Amino acid sequence: MLLDRVQCLRDDLRAVVSNLDPDRVGGSDAAALLTCFAEVEKLAAGGRILVARRVEVSNVWQRTGHRSAAAHIAQATGTGLGPAIDTLETARRLPSLPATDQALRQGRLSHAQATVIAGAAAAQPGAERSLVDAAATEPFNTLRLRCRRVEAAARDERASYEQVHRSRYLRHWTEHDGGVRFDARLAPDDGARVLVAIRAEVARLTTEARKAGVSEPERAIAADALVALARRRMPGSTRRGREGAAVAGPGVAPGSACPAASGHSTATADGQGPEVQGPEVQGPEVQGPEVMVHVRVDHAALVRGHAEPGELCEIPGVGPIPVDVARRLATDAVLSVLVTDGVDVTAVAHRGRTIPAAVRRALVERDPTCVVPGCEVAEHLEVDHLLPFSDGGPTELANLARLCHWHHYLKTHHGYRLERDDGRWCWLQPSPPGQRA
């Protein structure tokens, strides 16, 4: 009987795998075993797909108490509902796809390959044979791309685009540890616009990181890039022409500065072209951001450095944040700190740090480049308070320095310090753990 045979094969295989000692297998044997196990896996995938359809149409899933055939398959295979739905979809298409069916029965297609091929071939049956052939030689990602193109050519592009556009969204939520997560769905061109802008920013930050000899994971730099973009979209940032930087006209759309960056180079990040200004848009000429979030902090908590139970230190709509983070925000242009005493607002810390025009001019004169020794970045410089404004640091020339975005980031988040000694700048490594303030 069929079931007995398959169970015998399974038991044999289990005996082999449970006694397998990979350390005693030579390299070339290991490679041969790998290929062989992969073939077994493909054959098993073929069998699984073929019987999945029977599970569905026979309604056995109802008798086993599952809410759907996909739920039954997901439980039996230990996968999620998504892959189970794919399995069923592929199984339903198989009867009209002879080449795929044959390749699957011969163990020439993996589950993933069969899924993408069946999807594309269902849309354009004429392409089936060539897709099955391609699966034998092409890497999976290439095959998937080929299948996507076949599908795209077969469907009504416009309707599909409109559907994606109609279902666009951006959601965010706060996790229990305070991390803010985003999830977005965008029409492809809008998605590309956002990605190109992020990519250009990543290139700029990566160059800065390399110069500084710091290595950060790519995903972390991408996150920094998103934040940097958000910081740039502030009023005045596209109008200001100070310090010789190129300026974008008011009609320049976000991301339109970036087509050059969509190639392989990192060229856009050099500040040429209609790059907008960096976060240093806190000057007196700025009327105040269109969108500003007031972080509410109790005065007592701000002074103490941490919040006691019942005290408030939070970003409305996001959630609580540590007091020292709120302190750093005192020099932020979008998040302004609203210091409260009970219900009365005692101060908006944001205002006091505005740099008077004369001080700013003197600062530009004194610090034409990032002040960190060896750093020659001269564009998009940010103004740093050596002693933070929230700790009483004055907005005077002696307490200010211009830093590139990267060095400003290191100072703000990684414990690097900047000191001025006898007219010379010293860039100090972070103190050992435990000594940090």
**What residue ranges bind Zn ion (CB under 5 A)?**
370, 372, 375, 377, 404, 407
Angle, helices 98-105 vs 27-57, to 10°: value is: 130
Residue 375 CB, nearest distance to Zn ion (Å)? 3
CB 333 within 8 Å of CB 231: yes
How many CB atoms are closer than 10 A to CB 105?
15
Cα–Cα distance for residue pair 261/284, rounded to 1 Å: 33
Using the minimum distance from each CB to Zn ion, give the nearer residue, 108 or 407. 407
SS3 320: strand
Separation CA 395–CA 56 (nearest Å): 72
405 by Cβ neighbours in 10 Å (0-12 / 13-18 / 19+) ranks as: buried
Per DSSP bridges, beta strands 293-298 and 180-185 are unpaired
Neighbours of 187 (CB within 10 A): 16
Q: Min. distance of Cβ 402 from Zn ion in angstroms?
A: 9
User: Measured from the CB atom, is 111 or 408 closer to Zn ion?
Assistant: 408
CA dihedral 374, 377, 381, 382 (to 10 degrees): -40
Sequence length of the chain is 437
Distance of closest approach, residue 371 Cβ to Zn ion, in angstroms:
8
Q: Based on CB atoms, which residue is closest to Zn ion, 231 or 327?
A: 231
**Closest distance between Zn ion and the C-beta of residue 149, in Å?**
44
Closest approach, Cβ 390 to Zn ion, in A, equals 23
CB of 248 to Zn ion, least distance (A): 24
Task: Give whichever of 306 and 420 is closer to Zn ion, judged by the CB atom.
Answer: 420
**Least spacing, CB of residue 409 vs Zn ion, in Å:** 10
CB nearer to Zn ion: pick between 197 and 370: 370
- Least Å distance between CB 172 and Zn ion? 31
Closer to Zn ion by CB, 85 or 363: give it: 363
Contacts of 409 (CB under 8 A, 6+ apart): 224
d(CA 223, CA 380): 19
In angstroms, the CA 104 to CA 120 distance is: 16
> Quick one: 39 or 376, whose CB is closer to Zn ion?
376
Instruction: Name the E strands within 299-334.
Output: 313-315, 319-320
